[in-house]
Structure 1
Amino acid sequence: MNDIAQLDETEENGRKVLRFAGPLTLARLGRLPDRLKEVEGQGMIVDVSGVERMDTVGAWLVHRLVRDHDAHVRGADESTSFLLENVAAADQPAKIRPDRRPPVVQILDQMGTATSMAGKTLLGLLGFFGALLVTTWTVIKRPRRFRFNATVQRFEVVGVHALGIIGLMSFLIGIVIAQQGAVQLRQFGAEVFTINLVGRLTFRELGVLMTAIMVAGRSGSAFAAQIGSMKLAEEVDAMRTIGVSPMEALVLPRVMATVLLMPLLGFYSSIVAIVGGGLLCWVSLDIPPATFIQRIREVTPITDVWISLIKAPVFGAIIGISGCFQGMQVEGNNEEVGLRTTAAVVQAIFLVIVLDAFFAVFFSEVGWV
């Protein structure tokens, strides 16, 4: 076996023939590339029947002879021909800059891509929701498969650890609503109606909505990052291999935790916001706490509380499903975890706001105003 690639020049019927022999690989080329630069003439024959091995570098040398000298290759076996064809297909001029397109075409292309991606994501989310329903029914039929400890741990992460930040946010929102409402109503001598504004707006909308946004940013992103990291580490595949359903072990406890705790967190947020608004009314408008509480009871119907409690578990389901769904879509590298985590937060907040608008119209139509 030759250690270095060999090149022999002969003539057949008046045509130059270049015969390669030995290993035509990068490590065994020797001075062959310099010799090929000195080759002249057109219409020659390149004989590779004596080549023992060939890599892409050797295939590139042969392809360059064929391209520059209008040569013909003979003696190539199936694998060599396949390699030469792929090298020839890759020999295309690369564009440093893409072709410029009219701005209108670019905008329409981006809109179409975004619409198509949104539709695929929505279909995937619906399919994921269906798989979750099937898993839930399976667990209902076989209660022993329910992972109680994992669910309780999610309760702590989603609920207990979030009380501080949600309470602070709600307290400040209550103060802001009361302060801005008092400033505007003072122009009409109706500062006392600040209590109406704080009570109804907090219980009906902002309490549960701001809580959902906070939970989406805090817990929904954590769900996506945790499950996404497990996907990259192939832990999810390992669970399937040993017969453990990822939907039962990872998704169901997280979704159940958000669904069950969102009503409690939403009600807690509304109460803290009322406390903040009442404190500002006491300090700024000289409305004592007893009067404030009595007025809140008079102007805030119980339907506002029921509306908040109805919306909260739906928002919780959206947050949990979006976070787990995006986490399950992670593939490739660590950058995908960050992208999917961001997508989970954006998707959850968008769907929460859309559903909140739907609920607002629905409850107005049924007379809960």
Structure 2
Amino acid sequence: MSLMAVRFRWGLATTAALALVAILTLAPQWRSLEGMGARRAVVLARPPAEILVGVSWPFSIRRDGMAEGLRLAQDEINQGGLAGGIPVRLVLRDDQGVWAEARRIALDFADTPAMSAVIGYDDIRLALRAAPIFEKSRLLYLLPAVGNPDPGEASSRYAIRTAPSLSSFARALAVAAGRPGESLRFALIWDEDGPGKELATQFLIAQSGMGGNRVFQWPYLTGRADFRASAYRLREIEADLIVIAGPSPDLVDFLRKADGAGLIAPILVIAEPSDALWAQMGTAAWRRAIFPQIYDVAAMTSENRAFVDKFRARFGKDPDAAAAQGYDTLRLLAEAVRTTGSAEPLDLIFALRQSPAWAGAVGEYRFDRQGEVRDRIVRLVPGEVSVTSSRLAPAPASP
């Protein structure tokens, strides 16, 4: 055989091997999502040996308590037989807040026929893009992050929102910021190319309906705003409240510029308070800020006190909102499994949407027909009494 023939055959073999690798790697993307759903229905129709739950979250970026809250709930469920004696197994994946990775994870979960549910996402944009994958593959997806997609934004037959959707959250903010019997004069600043735009729109609609008066507005592009102009412009405007929505670096930049400009109006920062924000803002800017609070670590309900005690004993620190939301979400899923004895997503969804009120660490959970949590109250708290400072509070007394 000639050297040319050997090289030709070697080239064909190499090409075939590479093609096989590509096919195996991309198979979930080429396979029909509907076909994945049909396989799931067959597999999960059998009596379940376990409940398999996928989690897609930016663990390495957020570094919050989501994983800890989920692990704590998983151990309680399995040790106490809280899912009717059926064990829960978690598959935690780090989507890094990037769509390419989140999509790959979503397709892997969709192509796992024994998986009953997915918990995620921290970013509404990822949640919106992943939703069709789960809908078509008949996979229950639970949304524990505040500001998740509204029911009307995507098909939500398989969705359960254990935290307020974006519009619901914005309306709750407007109610919390309202001044009974008075017209609130408010200024709005938001990232035009991010979720802040919809938050600002819904806040404006709700506040206007309550008699509020918008006295200033300024949309900006993420990472490209010169907040000095808006800060000094606001010095000339009589506003009872300044509201800003955007990514953390922009929030920090605005608060610094507002502090330098000597603004005296309170600033509602639509973000979860954290140690990272505290370190970047500085004490003066932090104290001028007001934060929305869905979860109160110091709440004296029996459910929260038990959760906080167990969390502190295991991890040596206070839980944050992500830990509480993750904990409650998995416990809720276990309760649906207990009442139905099923691992099939539609059975679990029906049980969650039709179940009576369930009390968790964050508060009471009741769902409407679209899977949105109802009657979730948002509190506004000053920076100095926010979640970050409360981490230094003494543990609540045992019952």
TM-score (norm 1): 0.28
Of Structure 1 and Structure 2, the greater helix share is in: 1
Of Structure 1 and Structure 2, the greater strand share is in: 2
